[in-house]
Chains A and B, each alone.
Chain A
Amino acid sequence: MAEAIKVPTMAEYMAEGKKPEVLFWVGCAGSFDDRAKKITKAFVKLLNEAGVDFAVLGTEESCTGDPAKRAGNEFLFQMQAAMNIEVLNGYEIKKVVTACPHCFNTIKNEYPSLGGNYQVMHHTQFLKSLLNEGRLKVEGGKFKGKRITFHDPCYLGRANGEYEAPRDLLKKLEVELIEMRKCKSNGLCCGAGGAQMFKEPEPGNKDVNVARTEQAMETNPEIIAAGCPFCNTMMTDGVKSKEKEDSVAVMDVAEMIANANDL
């Protein structure tokens, strides 16, 4: 557990005159949030396991501007985008993978018209491609037959139409995948999007994450699988509010695979 993980930066690659196969965009949550950092590390372990030649921007990375844009601060968004695109283009990045659907959506859809054109993949899509290429092996093991429900992140699912990649990975883990009554294009938001993560909710009679957790609980799951650090936080809080944290875990799909592979 204590062995340090290998995380090369673009600057190091540049110094050696090399280029990585893919840039791992870590994102703010993946860099700073204690829960999300675990997802970041699990994903890095999988990249190393599969022998992927990757690098991160490290201290040269900055917020993509997603919360600023959706809060209405287009100025701040475009400033962030301009800075990030300058760095990415400076390193001649072609392919980006990220474990955050918000970063994924922003870089994939909103950076091109500002001069940033990259092939962008969500980490579940990337892991699926590694699997298909035979570079990564996933076996059921620990999760075989467990009751698991998957919460669709809005910015992966509805926003970009990717519903299958995370589910395909879960199927590889041989779990018993039970869909919530609201799933895929009808999935209910966790409540974090549109910069809600960074403000108090408006007055109402319930928090959105609690409503979504209740839907997840209807499937009587052992694990709620997620594919977004913000959803992860919201669902974890929801499970705690129901005092079920001892019996229901909230895990990122990447964490589950790393765990199954004893990484």
Chain B
Amino acid sequence: MQIVAQIVFLIALVFGISFFVRNIKKMLRNIKLGKTIDRSDNPSERWSKTLRIAFGQSKMVRKPVSGFLHVIVYLGFIIINIEVLEIIIDGLFGTHRVLSFMGGFYNVLIGIFEVLALLVFIGVIIFWIRRNVLNIYRFLSRELKGWPKNDANYILYFEMVLMTLFLVMNAADYQLQINGAVHYAHEGGIIGGFPISQFIAPLFEGLSNSTLIIIERGAWWLHIIGILFFLNYLYYSKHLHILLAFPNVYFSKLKPKGEMDNVEAVKKEVALMMDPNADPFAAPPEGEEEGEPEKFGASDVMDLNQVQLLNSYTCTECGRCTAECPANQTGKKLSPRKIMMDTRDRLEEVGDNINKNGKFEDDGKQLLDDYILREELWACTTCNACVEACPIGIDPLSIILEMRRYLVMEQSAAPNELAVSLTNIENNGAPWPYNQMDRLNWAKEN
């Protein structure tokens, strides 16, 4: 009987992990559809930023309430996972509480897990209330209607159930030890610390040992299967940030926020224009094919860079960006969070298209217009509030800028008044129609 359980466990574990790996590979392939971008510079600064912002959660706590709760859930997630290690060993080798040889330290450890499990449970309840009861601006946006809202709630329910199962398992175990059940009780007394579950255990008083074993085993199995299920749910949810936040912060921009990249393709063109010796009609040098001219800006996900695509998978839709956005606050359609959600949705659509057809077949859709509207793009003030607000280094502004580049350079589709200003800059070196020769007139006026 024991060996059957071990085999079932092994199958569940292998299936759960391999399905997850398969999806992660798909995600990496999708990210690689983007343009390459070199973010290998300054590794020491990148590591320190990752330690501070991702591991240290330094930007999370800028909002004290949600930040504090998040730190609890984060610590709970990391520390309770040590327990998962024990569960996996027990499951594979048919042992029970294999790490208990550590004695007193083990008891303390299990005690800490229990306290954290309770804190996580409470934290998640408060998160649920914030999302569903309190009218918090960033949870009311139109882009959260439907699936995103349900998705967020499913994740919270999941965490509640996992924490409950963990505590119920311990409570049943504790009661079995008190009852002196075979395989559970030890001569040296109680194994494990049960500061929380000892208050659940009285509910089990009077139950037969066999019933208690069913409860204990049931909770154990549901807990580990739940964890494997949750692992695989990540890819289909907004919740990949628990893994991707770390690489995302590592690869985030180190330069001043105000600095926007100078497009290389344009540099070449401008250099050619500025060179008095350049021959505009020159044939390409011998042996070089005249390639298709490079597309400027982005109208679809393949035109974005790999860090921008990683950003889209990392976004957990917390909406701190949108809450800080001046355009969003004044009722405009732009929401930086929606920019990230749209990018990911379109990337997934392109990925599915590749899965189906072997390579990308034109589906008559693109990120621009079918997902992100021009009205959203033109509402941005490039103020960087969204970039500053993101706790894990996502840069929605860079995507907005790439898409504006496409609109202006490929389509000449700037809003009218803006187009006039750009023409003024081109003709007389100022956004207003003043002559460059009048630039110093102010010095003579009184």
Binding site for B on A (CB under 8 A): 1-2, 4-5, 7, 9, 26, 28, 30-33, 37, 40-41, 44, 56, 58-59, 61-63, 65, 67-76, 78-80, 82, 105, 108-110, 113-114, 154-155, 158-161, 185-186, 188-189, 191-208, 210-212
Contact = CB atoms under 8 A, between A and B. Distances in A.
Given A5-B443, A205-B330, A72 B408 contact: yes
Interface stretch (B193-201, B236-244, B429-437): B429-437
Contacts of B432: 28, 32-33
B429 A32 contact: no
A31 B442 contact: yes
A26 B429 CA distance: 13
Interface in B414-446: 414-415, 417-418, 420-422, 425-426, 429-432, 434, 436-446
Contacts of B259: 105, 109-110, 159
Interface in B32-73: none
Most B C-beta atoms less than 10 A away, residue of A33, A80, A199? A199
Contacts of B382: 70, 154, 193-195
Given A78-B270, A204-B330, A32 B430 contact: yes
A146 B329 CA distance: 30
B264 to A, nearest CB: 10
Contact of B405 (A67, A74, A197): A74
B445 to A, nearest CB: 7
A79 B45 CA distance: 33
21 contacts: A4-B444, A56-B440, A58-B439, A63-B425, A71-B404, A72-B407, A78-B266, A109-B255, A113-B262, A154-B258, A154-B384, A160-B258, A188-B385, A189-B383, A194-B383, A195-B418, A199-B417, A203-B375, A204-B327, A204-B379, A208-B330
B378 interface: yes
A73 B422 contact: yes
Contacts of A69: 260
A110 B408 CA distance: 20
Nearest to B332: A204
Contacts, number: 218
Given A159-B258, A188-B326, A200 B415 contact: yes
Given A37-B445, A72-B404, A158 B418 contact: no
A202 B297 contact: no
Nearest to A207: B330
- Residue from B258, B266, B405, B407 whose CB has the most chain A CB atoms within 10 Å: B258
Contacts of A186: 324, 385, 388
B418 A191 contact: no
Query: Which of B256, B260, B330 has the most C-beta atoms of chain A within 10 angstroms of its own C-beta?
Result: B330
Interface in B294-349: 296-297, 324, 326-327, 329-334
Interface centre among A9, A80, A188 (most CB of B within 10 A): A188
B190 interface: no
Contacts of A154: 258, 381-385
Nearest to B425: A63
B367 to A, nearest CB: 15
A69 B334 CA distance: 20
Contacts of A113: 262
A182 to B, nearest CB: 9
B78 interface: no
Interface string B343-386: 00000000000000000000000000000000100111111110
Contacts of A206: 330-331
Nearest to A105: B258
Contacts of A62: 429-430, 436
Nearest to B429: A62
Interface residues of B, number: 69
A28 B430 contact: yes
A62 B428 CA distance: 8
B181 interface: no
Contact of B256 (A161, A194, A197): A161
B406 interface: yes
A215 to B, nearest CB: 10
Interface in B381-410: 381-385, 387-388, 401, 403-409
Contacts of B207: none
A204 B331 contact: yes
B256 A63 contact: no
A198 B431 contact: yes
B273 interface: yes
A200 B262 contact: no
Given A74-B266, A154-B381, A211-B329, 11 more contacts: A7-B443, A44-B443, A56-B440, A78-B262, A158-B257, A158-B385, A158-B387, A159-B257, A186-B324, A186-B388, A198-B421
Given A31-B440, A59-B440, A113-B262, A75 B269 contact: yes
A154 B409 CA distance: 26
Nearest to A28: B430
A67 B384 CA distance: 15
A193 B325 CA distance: 13
B398 to A, nearest CB: 12
Contacts of B381: 154, 189, 191-194, 196, 208
Nearest to A69: B260
Contact of B446 (A4, A9, A208): A4
B1 interface: no
A161 B231 CA distance: 39
B22 interface: no
Contacts of B134: none
A80 B429 contact: yes
B138 to A, nearest CB: 14
A69 B383 CA distance: 14
B182 interface: no
A154 to B, nearest CB: 4
Nearest to A78: B270
B17 to A, nearest CB: 41
Contacts of A204: 327, 330-332, 379
Nearest to B403: A72
B379 A68 contact: no
Nearest to B434: A32
Nearest to B375: A202
